[in-house]
Structure 1
Amino acid sequence: MGVASRYWQLVKIDGAGRRQVQEISPAKAFFVDVFPAIAYGGQNAIADNTDRHVPDAEIQLQLLQLSRDAPTDRYLLAQRCLLCFISWQIEQVCLQLAANFGSVHGFGCADLLPYVLDDDGRLQPHGTYQSLSQKILQSFDPQQSSLTTWTTTRVKHDAALNQFLLECGVYMVSDWAILNDTRPQQLERIFREFYALTPPEIQQAQQLLESYHAIYRTARLQQRSLSIGGKCTTPTTQQLQEIATLLQSQTSQTLKSETVMTQLQKLATQLREYRIHVRGGSLPTKSLDAITVDEYTDTTKALDNEDEQTEFLQLYRPQFLACLEQALAVVTQSRVNRLQRKKGEKAKKFLQALKLFHCQNLRMTEIAESMGLRAQDAVTRLLKLKEFRADVRQQLLLLLCDRVLDLAKNYSYPDRLITLEQQIKLALDEQITQVIKEAGNQSQTAKINTIENGLFRERLCRYLDSLNEEI
C-alpha cells in the first residue's frame, strides 16, 4: 500500500541544490477524476486524505495504460502522476544508500539527490532531454517487476550516481559478483602488481578463487541456463563445505565453512579496493594528522631498528609537509597560468573562489552570490576541484617518492632497495590518498562546519594567504 499524495507531489531539486516537494495541481485533479473512490475515501475533501494508503499496483497499472493509450492531454497527466511516484521512490533509494554507506564514506542523501532527481515537473516534455524518471517509466514492464523495484534497480545502476559513489569509495557490486567475474590470471596480476604479495600468498588466493568458481560460479551458470536470474546470493553452508573440501584436496588444509567464508570475503574486499582504485575512487586509509610511530608502520616496515625508525620519521614528516606545500603551489600556479591565457579575470576569480571554499568554508551557492556568478554550477566549473585534487596528488607523489627513497637508502641494505622502493611507493600512495580524501570530503558533503582542518586545507590556505596581494 502507498500514499495517494505521492501521485501528484513531486520531489525535486531547486536551483540551489535543495530538496523541495512541488504539488502539481493538474496531476492532482486528474488523479481525483480517475480514482474518485480512492481519492475521497468517503470523505468530503481530498485534502483530508493526502496520506491515505492506496493500492499502488492497481493504480500504477491503470495509469500506465492511460499513459500509453489515452488522448494526449490525458496520457501526459497519467504519465505525470507516475513520474511523481517515481521521484519519491528515487529519494527512498538515496536515503537507503546514505544510511548504509554515508557515515563511513562521508556523504548524505542530499549529496546523492542532484545526480538522480532531474525531473522539472513539466507536463509537456521540453526538447529531447530525458530525465532519469522518464527513462525509468519508458523502460518499465509491469510483467517483469513492480515500479518500485524497477526504479530501485535503475537508480542503483545510474552512471552518474555510481561515479560519485565510487569517488567516495563505494563500489556497488556484491562480493560474490566480484569473485564471479575475476579470472585467476587477473587475480595473480593484481596481487603481484598492486598488493606486492609473495608468490605463495598469490597461489593460495588463486586456489581459493578457483575452488569458489568450481562450486559457486558453476551453480550460478547452471541457474542462468535455466533462465533463473536475480542477484548473486551468499554461498550456502553446503557450498562453503564443498569449497573447503576442494581446497583440502589441493592444499591438504582442513578448513571450516566459516573460515572459507571469511577468506572469500577478505579476497573480495581486496579486489573491490583494487577496482575502486583503478576507477579513480578513494580507498580507506589511515590519517596523517596523528603523528605516532605506529601510524607509519606501512612506510617503515622495511626498517629493522626502532631507533632508526624514529629517526626516519623525524626526517620524513618535514619532507612530507614541504612536498605538499610545493605540490599545492605548482598546481595552483599552473591553473592560474592556464586561466590567464583566457579572456576576463578568470585567474583572479579562481583564486578568490578557492580561498572562499577552503579557507572560509563557504558553500558553492554562497560563493556564487559573493562573486556575482550566475549559479552554483558556474563555481563548480571554475574550481574543478576533483581535477585540482588529482593534480596535487600526482605532483605530491612524484616529489615525495624521490625524497623518501633517498632518506630510506640510509637505513637499508643495497640488496633490499628494490623491494623497499615498491613498499614505500605503495605506502606513500595510501597516505597521500588520505590527505586528498580529506579535501574531497569537503566538496562532497554539506556539513561544512564539521570538517576537520586537514593538512591539505591548512597548507593550501597558508599558500593562498601568501598571495593576498594577488587575490
Structure 2
Amino acid sequence: MSTGSRYWTIIKIDGAGGRKIEQIDSAKAFFLTSFPEFTASTEVPDTLIQRQLLHWLKGGINEYTDEGICQELAGTSQRKANEPCFLAKLCLKCFISSQIERVCHQLAAQFGENHGFTYRDLLPFVLDEDNRRNYQEKKITYQSFLDDIVDSFDPNQSSLATWTTRRVKSNKDINAFLLEQGIYLVSDWAILNDTTPKQIERIFDQVYHLTRVEVEDDKRILEGYHAVYRAQRLKQRQAGIKGKCLSPTLEQLQEISQDLSNKTNRNIPPAILLTKLQNIASRLREYRIRVRGGSIHYDERDPISLTETIPDPNSDIVDDETEFLKLYRQQFLHCLDLAIAQVTGERVKTLETRDKEKAQKFIIALQLFHCQELSMSEIAKQLELKAQFHISRLLKLKAFRADVQQHLLILLRDRVFAQAKAYSDSQRLQTLHQEIESALNEQIANVIQEAAMEASTATIEKHHTTSSFFSQRLCHYLDIRSNCYE
C-alpha cells in the first residue's frame, strides 16, 4: 500500500546534481479525477491502481470515456500532453522514482557506511530523466531508465515495486559504481552456479597459489554442488520457476556430501561442507572484483556484507581470533536465514494441509506486518478478516519466533563447534563447550527479544517501524520467496 501522492510526486536530479521533489499538477489532477475515492493522504491499493494505469497506457484509452475529464485537465494547446495514456505513464513513473529512492536507501544502509557512500551518490545513475524536460510536452527521442522500467513491466509477473527493485539492482551503472567500492551484488550460490571446474583449477592455482591437493578438493566440491544444487536449479527454471538462488537446504547439502563420499570416499558433514562452499565462493568473488577493476575492502565489522573476503593467501601471519569471528558472523547470518526459511516453510506446509488459502494469507500477513509495517487491524481489513485477533491467531508470532530461535541454536551450535576444532585442541574445546553454548543462547535470545519488543508495540500502532535484525532477514527471505513463485 502507498499514499496517493506517490503517483504525482516525482523525485529528480536537478542541474547541480542534487535531489529534488517535484509535484506534477497534471498527474495529480488526472489521478484524483480517475480515482475519486482516494485523496492525497489515503493509502491506495497499489496492485489495482497500477494495473488500471497500465491498462490505459497499453491501449485501454477508449474505455476512458469521460470526455469531461480530458476537457477539465487540458487546454486546447495541451490536449495531447494530457491524453490518459501519457498521464497514466507519468503517474507510474512518479511511483517508480520513489521506489528507486527506497532501493538506493537500502543499498546505502547495507554497504554505504563501510564503503564511504550515501544513497545520494547512487541516485544520479538511475534517476536519469532529462532535466530540461517540460512535463507538458511529450518527447519520444529519449528513453530514461524510468521509461524503460514502465515499458518492460508485466503485472502478471511481479509487482511494480519488485520489478523496479530488480532493475535497480541489475542496473549496469549502479553495479559499476558498487564494483569500484568492492561490492559485487551476486549471491555465493549464483557465483558457484556459473563457475566451471576448469576455472576453479586455473584461478586457485594461478591466482591464489593453492596446493594441488587443495585445488582438487575444491574442484570436486564444486562438481558435487553442480551435480545436486545446479541440476535442481536448472529443472526449476525449465518448469518456469524463477528468482534468486537461495542457500542450499540441509537435504541438498546431504546429497552433495553423499555424492562426494561416493566418488572420493570422503565424508564431509553438511555444516563443514557449507563453510567450504562459502569459502570457495568468497575467493571467486574477490577474483571477479579484481578482474572487473574494483578495489577490495577488508572489513571485519559488517557480518551482512556481500563482500566478505579471505585473508591474503600469501601471508604467513593469520589472526586466528579474527578469522574465527569472521566465519562466525557469516554462519550466524546464514543460520538465521536458514532457520527462518525452515520454520516458515514448515508453517506453510502445515497450513496447506488444512486450508491452502489460509497458508497464502499467512505469507501475505507476515509480509504486510514485518515489511510494509501495517498494524494487525489494517492487515485484517486487507485480508478481509473480521477482526485483529484473527491475524494474531494466524501469525502466532510468539510461537513463530520461538521456533526460529530453536532452529537457529541447533544450526549455529553445530557449525560453531565444527569451526572451533580448527582453532583449539580437543581438551580446550571440551572445557569451552558449555561457555560457547551459553554465549550462543544469549546472543540468539537478544535477537529474538528485540523482535518481540518491536512486535509488541507494532501490534497496536497504526504506523510502526520494523527495523530489527530479525525483521530485516525475514523480509529478505519473503522477498526471495515471492520472486521464486512469481
1:207 is matched with which residue: 204, 213, 220? 220
CA displacement, residues 44-64 of structure 1 (integer Å, 9 cap, x when unaligned): xxxxxx332111111111111
1:186 is matched with which residue: 170, 177, 199? 199
The within-5 A match list for 1:400-419 is none
Q: Give the 3-state SS of the residue equivalent to 1:20 in structure 2.
A: strand
Matched residues in 2 for 1:38 and 1:76: separation? 21
2:270 is matched with which residue: 247, 251, 257? 257
Change in Cα spacing, 1:97 to 1:269, as seen in structure 2 (3 Å) is same
Q: In the alignment, does 2:160 pair up with 1:147?
A: yes
The within-5 A match list for 1:57-456 is 57-69=47-59, 70=61, 72=80, 73-119=83-129, 120=131, 122-123=134-135, 124-126=137-139, 128-285=141-298, 301=316
Matched residues in 2 for 1:122 and 1:74: separation? 17
Matched residues in 1 for 2:253 and 2:152: separation? 38
Return the letter of the residue paired with 1:5.
S
Partner of 1:454: none
Please provide the CA RMSD for this pair.
2.2
Q: Give the 3-state SS of the residue equivalent to 1:22 in structure 2.
A: strand
Matched residues in 2 for 1:94 and 1:101: separation? 10
Return the letter of the residue paired with 1:241.
Q
Return the offset for 1:300. Answer: 6.9
Partner of 2:417: none
CA displacement, residues 342-374 of structure 1 (integer Å, 9 cap, x when unaligned): xxxxxxxxxxxxxxxxxxxxxxxxxxxxxxxxx
Partner of 1:34: 34
Check whether the contact 2:3–2:43 (CA below 8 A) recurs between aligned residues. Answer: yes
CA displacement, residues 208-260 of structure 1 (integer Å, 9 cap, x when unaligned): 10111111111111212222222211111001111122223344333221111
Q: Give the 3-state SS of the residue equivalent to 2:37 in structure 1.
A: helix
Partner of 2:7: 7
Return the offset for 1:105. Answer: 2.3
Partner of 1:334: none
Return the letter of the residue paired with 1:112.
L
Return the offset for 1:298. Answer: 7.4
Q: Give the 3-state SS of the residue equivalent to 2:208 in structure 1.
A: coil
Q: Give the 3-state SS of the residue equivalent to 2:21 in structure 1.
A: strand
Matched residues in 2 for 1:67 and 1:224: separation? 31
Q: Give the 3-state SS of the residue equivalent to 2:38 in structure 1.
A: helix
Matched residues in 2 for 1:299 and 1:273: separation? 15
Matched residues in 1 for 2:202 and 2:257: separation? 24
Check whether the contact 2:53–2:92 (CA below 8 A) recurs between aligned residues. Answer: yes
Change in Cα spacing, 1:36 to 1:240, as seen in structure 2 (3 Å) is same
Q: Give the 3-state SS of the residue equivalent to 1:227 in structure 2.
A: coil
Change in Cα spacing, 1:300 to 1:116, as seen in structure 2 (3 Å) is closer
Return the offset for 1:299. Answer: 7.3
Check whether the contact 2:208–2:313 (CA below 8 A) recurs between aligned residues. Answer: no
Q: Give the 3-state SS of the residue equivalent to 1:155 in structure 2.
A: helix
Return the offset for 1:285. Answer: 4.4
State the TM-score, normalizing by the size of structure 1.
0.57
Return the letter of the residue paired with 2:54.
L
Partner of 2:347: none
Return the letter of the residue paired with 1:113.
L
Check whether the contact 2:181–2:297 (CA below 8 A) recurs between aligned residues. Answer: no
Matched residues in 2 for 1:18 and 1:222: separation? 46
The within-5 A match list for 1:47-66 is 50-66=40-56
Return the letter of the residue paired with 1:237.
L
Please identify, of 122-131 and 9-18, the stretch whose mean Cα deviation from structure 2 is larger: 122-131
Matched residues in 1 for 2:157 and 2:201: separation? 40
Matched residues in 2 for 1:127 and 1:297: separation? 52
Change in Cα spacing, 1:184 to 1:280, as seen in structure 2 (3 Å) is same
Matched residues in 1 for 2:27 and 2:294: separation? 41
Return the letter of the residue paired with 2:10.
L
Partner of 2:65: none
Return the offset for 1:177. Answer: 0.8
Greater Cα radius of gyration, structure 1 or 2: 1
Check whether the contact 2:184–2:285 (CA below 8 A) recurs between aligned residues. Answer: yes
Size of the aligned set, in residue pairs, is 284
Matched residues in 2 for 1:299 and 1:189: separation? 17
Q: Give the 3-state SS of the residue equivalent to 2:20 in structure 1.
A: strand
Matched residues in 1 for 2:289 and 2:15: separation? 31
Check whether the contact 2:221–2:260 (CA below 8 A) recurs between aligned residues. Answer: yes
Matched residues in 2 for 1:8 and 1:134: separation? 16
CA displacement, residues 100-157 of structure 1 (integer Å, 9 cap, x when unaligned): 2222222211111110011246433435221100000011111111111111111111
Q: Give the 3-state SS of the residue equivalent to 1:196 in structure 2.
A: coil
Return the letter of the residue paired with 1:219.
Q
Return the letter of the residue paired with 1:94.
C
Return the offset for 1:181. Answer: 0.6
Structure 2: state its 5+ residue gaps: 63-79, 301-310, 318-486
Change in Cα spacing, 1:298 to 1:252, as seen in structure 2 (3 Å) is closer
Return the letter of the residue paired with 1:26.
S
State the TM-score, normalizing by the size of structure 2.
0.56
Please identify, of 273-282 and 218-227, the stretch whose mean Cα deviation from structure 2 is larger: 218-227
Change in Cα spacing, 1:91 to 1:151, as seen in structure 2 (3 Å) is same
Return the offset for 1:276. Answer: 0.8
Return the letter of the residue paired with 2:166.
T
Matched residues in 1 for 2:119 and 2:275: separation? 31
